[in-house]
Amino acid sequence: QVQLVESGGGLVQAGGSLRLSCAASGRTSSNYAMGWFRQAPGKEREFIATTTWSGGYTDYATSVKGRFTISTDNAKNAVYLQMNSLKPEDTAVYYCAAGRWVGQVIPDRYDNWGQGTQVTVSS
């Protein structure tokens, strides 16, 4: 069972940047894919980005492509989400997730989740 802990959220002005981190413990070879999702109040959980520990595959939601970057650090068992040019509509709780299949954009395809970190972008 993989344990995931997110950090790095906070309050930022529109146009600013934040870097989210996700520390993964108990990782096994089957936890091959990592993803970031977000959920705003009253809305469904939304795919943001996904990658593999090898870094050989990445994919982004259209809404964040060119602004957000997902990356991994195998030595630290960590996944990052660098968020630039933030907009008020990026305000949400951001979740890190681990799964067994590459390229998944549906939350149900991920097996393990962190507790989330709040990101608030003021206008």
Residue 34's φ and ψ, nearest 5 degrees, are: -125, 145
Q: How far apart are CA 56 and CA 13, in angstroms?
A: 33
Q: Could you tell me the pLDDT band of residue 28, with boundaries at 50, 70 and 90?
A: low
The number of CA neighbours under 13 Å toward the Cβ of 105 is 9
Question: What is the predicted pLDDT for the residue at 31?
Answer: 61
Q: Are 98 and 32 in contact (CB under 8 A)?
A: no
The two tokens of residue 49 are 């980005």
| Average pLDDT estimate for 100-107 | 93
Listed range (30-39, 81-90, 107-116) with the worst mean pLDDT: 30-39
Give residues with Cβ within 8 angstroms of 17, minimum separation 6.
82, 83, 84, 85, 86
Do the Cβ atoms of 83 and 72 come closer than 8 Å? no
**What residue spans of 1-123 are helical by DSSP H?**
none
Q: What is the pLDDT of residue 30?
A: 57
Specify the amino acid at residue 61: A
Residue 29 has pLDDT above 70, yes or no: no
